[in-house]
Structure 1
Amino acid sequence: MKLVSYRHQNRPGFGAVKDEGVIDLAKHLPAVADLAALVSNPAALAEARRLAATATADFALAAVELEPVVPRPNKIICVGINYVAHAAEAGRTVGKYPVIFHRYAQTLVAHGAPIIRPRVSDNFDFEAELAVVIGKGGSHIKPEEAMNHVAGYTCFNDSSVRDWQFHTHQYGMGKNFRGTGSLGPWLVTADEIPDYRELSIKGMLNGECMQAGKLSELAFDIPALIAYVSQALDWQPGDILATGTPSGIGFKRQPPIFLKPGDTFDVVIPGVGTLSNPVADEA
């Protein structure tokens, strides 16, 4: 099942994608507030699956304005240097513990919306990633139980302002410019992806493949990451875990390749979807 958050006729909503239409789950499940609440509620999720199989679409997918899959996640946990080849190109080695940093919800944009190159830098880079959406919260989660906490998967572009990223040894500032992180187009529920390790990922700039990897190549796998973070923070429904980017990023190329207005960057994960965003300058 594919789930989306959107605005339709200027109203926020969430629904299930069916062919080229959307079943308005907000209408059919009025007691459920949003997509994050839906994926945390097994009974409501079961009813959503029934509706996705039997109901007629309420409107065309083209008639809605997509929002980030979870428009306002409580937290977005990102992982750096999580593919061995990417670590090598960055001149880093994979350590004993995962490299964790954070994004803010206000940096997110939806599929189809422009990602924004900031006024203060032209070192605007791309990072194609698989993102995990948490459905069941918890703390001190065991790795062998961690996948029970996964609601599903979506695509993420962790676009980075590289010079700001390296102003200090803590590079969170370069990851948190307004309008730089895209998330979508939808959440594919975990039951549709029996083994995420069989997924592949590509980052495409103007139709040219810049990044390619397999989720089996993660240095720290999804269960390990969920378990590690849960020792410090309680996971909550709707939280996002961005699993890291494969090699091929722009600033390590010779010469460097940075995003500029007029470009389009796509994150392509067969079985999950394609997240596509044009690039625009900050107004």
Structure 2
Amino acid sequence: MNNPVKPKARKILEVIPQTTNEYTFRLENNIPIKHGQFMQLSLPKIGEVPISVSDFGDGYVDFTIRRVGKVTDKLFHLQKGDQIFIRGCYGNGWPIEKIKEKNIVIIAGGTGVSPVKSLINALYNDPNYAKEVYLIIGYKDCKSILFKEDLKKWKLARHFHTIYTLDNAEYKDWNKGMITEFIKEIPFHSFDKNYECFVVGPPIMMKFVGEELLNNNVSEENIWMSFERKMSCAIGKCGHCRIDEIYVCLDGPVFNYTIAKKLVD
């Protein structure tokens, strides 16, 4: 009988420092992945954590991890050639089938850029899949900026319209201000209702981004959000991520706003 929670060892192909407390771990991988899904990463005798996939390709998968606890602290001591155990992929990802030939608005903050990074790169690599791509990406300050090289290439893409901002700090070629301040610059009126909005970041950020999108006459049905709330087992058995009848690990982590707006503890 197949054990649904049995992890498999994967070798670290590369460790890429992003900031002082955030590294990208590239692991060997042959498991099918959808944009927006997550996996369970573990170390024997230490513990297990759910981590969103930040990118993937032929033979590899990337996880961009913040050093915040027992398991992640031990991960940061690992090097190329060491092993990490993984299981998954889990959850429902971004609704790729809904975005073909549409205008795409992606709003992400902080480490919330990770769960949407692979999708952004897919749209970058296939400029004919969607129409125009509008990115609003925000970080706290210049020391917390992730994926600097990707940010540069996205900015140069003809079909991308980028707004990069820092919450309350000045930085060359970056805006200053909260993400919500720049939503009004997205030309929703010109989309003729042919668009989808993807939002991911800290819960308080997503709350205010959702409200501001509605203030700009964006339909609830066209807003999608990614939640990473208290997931533990990833298969709906432990109940840690349950909100009413919703299991974030099974029914999410990506939800339409019509459901996401009700996901409050």
TM-score, with length taken from structure 2:
0.28
**Larger RCO, structure (CA 8 Å, separation 6 or more):** 1
